[in-house]
Amino acid sequence: MRVGIYGGSFNPPHMGHVNALVTVAKKAGLDQIRVIPVATSPMKVPIEGPSPEQRLEMTRRAFESYGSQFVIDDREIRRGGISYTIDTVLDLRKTIKAEDLYLIIGADHLDSFHQWKDYKKILIEANLIVTTRPGFDIPTSESEFPGFLNELVAAHDFNFIELKTGRSIQFLRLQDVEVSSSEIRKKIRSSRPVEKVLPLAVESYIRENKLYSSIRERITDYQKFTEFCASVLFSKKAIGVKGFDLQKMAAPSEFTLVASGTSTRHAASLAENLVTAVKDEFHLHPQSVEGLDEGRWVVVDYGSLIVHIFYDFVRQEYNLEGLWKMAKDLGIKDPNLKA
């Protein structure tokens, strides 16, 4: 039996997930796909949201009407801790031959696949299926392959690679649904419609359990919260930290901070330190974090406060302060500097 593996946060599972797997099962001739929600992803910053058990239940509901071909597998949540794909692959290999096991990933993950734990061992123990994703196409020639594949390719023909490990990589083009879990979470928090992008059973579960509610009630004074976040950035050597009150403007948040790092690594580090400090002080995760991998422009969303952290060269290019010239400048100063 040819078995596919598809892991993810499923926070929440949406029609993009469902449509992709239905298509992959048909095009790749898979007899079964094991859909596996992670306990904790090693590649993502924790965010506010449902528990692992709630994500598991939503995933069950998303696929419940698509037949026994889709098996919701809770082994990573039962295992707990950080979920590494190699651990799950080796677990499944106890009962499934390597030639019959297929790890399904999106093209957005291919370039960073070499950062996965024991990625070469994964390519010994399972085949790979790489699908298109909105904004990410599949490589069409060897010159477009990510560098880590060069030493592993035995033969290449159109959308199929034979690897020296004995396994294969198949590229599949999908009719992608333009949707992401982060956008869905934002829509739910702002009471915008999501029925076109969520399975009805998942939407009902979210409403019943009041998931993805605003974190505003947990922050009693957002201006003071903004000032706290600014002090964290100052303490980690951020430059050009500015805060704005946007309440009299048409803006996605009431307050905003903008700051710069001296490099992409510094910008990413500033964001990571901010998330940790807020978690320690307020027991609160952000609603979302975007851009952390590249560090050019990192956005940390705390609902009524959105923090923009740039590599300084990129900040000058976008000039966000120009968009906020009619906003109230909070006049934030570095508390560590002597008057």
Specify the CATH number for the domain of residue 131: 3.40.50.620
Same domain for 129 and 56?
A: yes
Same domain for 140 and 235?
A: no
- Name the average pLDDT for the chain: 92
- Rounded to an integer, the average pLDDT of 79-105 is 97
Domain boundary at 172, 207, 240, which? Answer: 172
Residue 55 included in any domain: yes
Same domain for 231 and 151?
A: no
Q: What is the pLDDT of residue 214?
A: 77
Same domain for 290 and 167?
A: no
Same domain for 151 and 295?
A: no
Same domain for 225 and 168?
A: no
Q: What is the pLDDT of residue 338?
A: 59
Residue 230 included in any domain: yes
Residue 183 included in any domain: no
CATH assignment of the domain containing 302:
3.30.460.10
Element (H, E) at 63: helix 52-63
Residue 40 included in any domain: yes
What's the number of CA atoms in the CB half-sphere (13 Å) around residue 93?
A: 17
In the structure encoding, which two tokens stand for residue 98, read together?
């390597």
Same domain for 20 and 138?
A: yes
| Residue entry with tokens 């291919």 | 110
Q: Considering the entire predicted model, what is its pTM?
A: 0.83
Could you give phi then psi for residue 256, rounded to 5 degrees? -145, 150
Q: For 251-307, what is each residue's pLDDT tens digit?
A: 888 999 999 999 999 999 999 999 999 999 999 999 999 999 899 999 999 999 999
Please tell me the distance from the alpha carbon of residue 175 to that of residue 20, in angstroms, as a whole number. Answer: 8
Residue 48 included in any domain: yes
Residue 252 included in any domain: yes
Q: Domain total for the chain?
A: 2
Kindly state the DSSP code that residue 138 receives in the 8-state scheme. P
Domain boundary at 144, 172, 200, which? Answer: 172
Element (H, E) at 320: helix 320-323
Q: Does the pLDDT of residue 135 top 80, yes or no?
A: no
Same domain for 222 and 295?
A: yes
- Domain of residue 244 covers 218-329
Domain boundary at 106, 139, 172, which? Answer: 172
Residue 113 included in any domain: yes
Residue 181 included in any domain: no
Could you give phi then psi for residue 164, rounded to 5 degrees? -65, -15
- Rounded to an integer, the average pLDDT of 166-181 is 88
